Amino acid sequence: MTHGDGFPYRAPWWLPGGNPQTLWAALVARRHFGPAPRWRRSRWSTPDGDFVDVDESLHASDSQAPLLVLFHGLEGSSASQYAVAFADFAAAHGLAYAVPHFRGCSGELNHAPRAYHSGDFAEIDWILRRFATENPDRPLLAVGVSLGGNALMRWAGEMGQEAQQRVRAIASVCSPLDLAAGGCAIGRGFNRLVYTRMFMRSMVPKALQKLEQHPGLFDREALLAARDLYEFDNLFTAPLHGFRDTADYWARASAKPVLQRIRVPALALNARNDPFVPAASLPGPQDTSASVVLWQPPQGGHVGFPVSQGPFGLPGHVRAMPEAVGNWLLAHL
């Protein structure tokens, strides 16, 4: 079913439009009501001889309380505003909480001649299997934000019935489930000037470090000349992860084509004014199985959903989205 009333979000009057809602939430709005999360980091060795860093929140939880696992977005981490806000939700509700970092996103370059990508469902599967093995008494819930949500939904579609052996329910938040539509949107106009530059400022230096680690991996001069994510993915992300080019990567890594194969309770939340994810590209009921619920409120931006607070509403907070998504997940235990 498709509706916005599962999360009847209303943007503050002083934040009209997707870009202000996105930027205010990321840069200014309050992230937590309780104390800031404190983390314990573990390093997991991957089957291919690399590593993944996992941050677990140190707040108290019962030994049999559910574990909420969050998969972050492009160039995100446990410090991202949404990761902190979900940590606050988990602490308030007595849940255990963990943020596994995609390779290269924990502050230290990974070892292998690969990084991470939007359709990395094999990595999601390995991570969730390990969480399940290490926490046999805890029911598992998973949420993925933006890129992490596409990868999580892709995993659920690929796994079908088997996903129920790992998790009780999953959610994606502001995920570009049609990667080509999202990739085109972020490469145009204001998005290109602001968001593309922000991502490239982080991704290009890491790619160059990767080239120092593994000489000959890609063409250095061509990468330095890349001006958008399409060109970056063509030179780096696609070939390093087994795709022919950007078009092949965006087509084969998108979760939208496999939403009909999902058999575990799954929520897809997308604001219809998300600057990265065109409303026309969002899935409708005809694109999903009966296990998938679609929340598509008209406002919210990209992982924004800021809410007014106090007499003047400034700076507001971003806890409403984790509350709505988290409570939906808890309802499926």
pLDDT digits (tens, 9 = 90+) for 188-208: 999 999 999 999 999 999 999
Choice among 59, 72, 101, 302 that is catalytic: 302
Residue 4: predicted pLDDT: 53
**Every domain of the chain and the residues it spans:** 2-177+255-330, 179-253
* Cβ neighbours, 10 Å, residue 307: 20
E strands present in 79-214: 96-100, 140-145, 169-173
Choice among 88, 178, 233, 274 that is catalytic: 274
Residue 314: predicted pLDDT: 76
Residue 254: predicted pLDDT: 98
Inform me whether the pLDDT recorded for 312 exceeds 90.
Answer: no
Residues 6+ positions from 184 with CB-CB distance below 8 Å: none
Counted residue by residue, the chain has a size of 333
Residues 6+ positions from 224 with CB-CB distance below 8 Å: 204
Q: What's the CA gap between 235 and 229, in Å, rounded? A: 10
Place of tokens 């984790």: 322
Q: Is 302 a catalytic residue?
A: yes
Q: List pLDDT tens digits, range 80-127.
A: 999 999 999 999 999 999 999 999 999 999 999 999 999 999 999 999
Average pLDDT over residues 256-282: 98
Long-range pairs, 13-19, Cβ under 8 A, ≥24: 14/313, 15/306, 17/273, 17/301, 18/271, 18/273, 18/274, 18/275, 18/299, 18/300, 18/301, 18/302, 18/304, 19/190, 19/194, 19/275, 19/301
Q: Which letter does DSSP use for residue 95 in this model?
A: -
Q: Which residues pair with 67 in a beta bridge?
A: 96, 140
Angstrom CA distances, 51 to 42, 100, 325, 327, stand at 10, 11, 29, 32
Helix and strand totals (H; E) in the chain: 12, 9
Q: Is 146 a catalytic residue?
A: yes
Q: Within 13 Å and on the Cβ side, how many CA atoms surround 218?
A: 27
Choice among 146, 172, 281, 291 that is catalytic: 146
Cβ atoms of 173 and 99 closer than 8 Å: no
Inform me whether the pLDDT recorded for 234 exceeds 60.
Answer: yes
Average pLDDT over residues 226-231: 95
Q: To which CATH superfamily is domain 2-177+255-330 assigned?
A: Alpha/Beta hydrolase fold, catalytic domain (3.40.50.1820)
Cis ω on the peptide bond leading into residue 257 (within 30° of 0)?
A: no
The whole-model pTM stands at 0.97
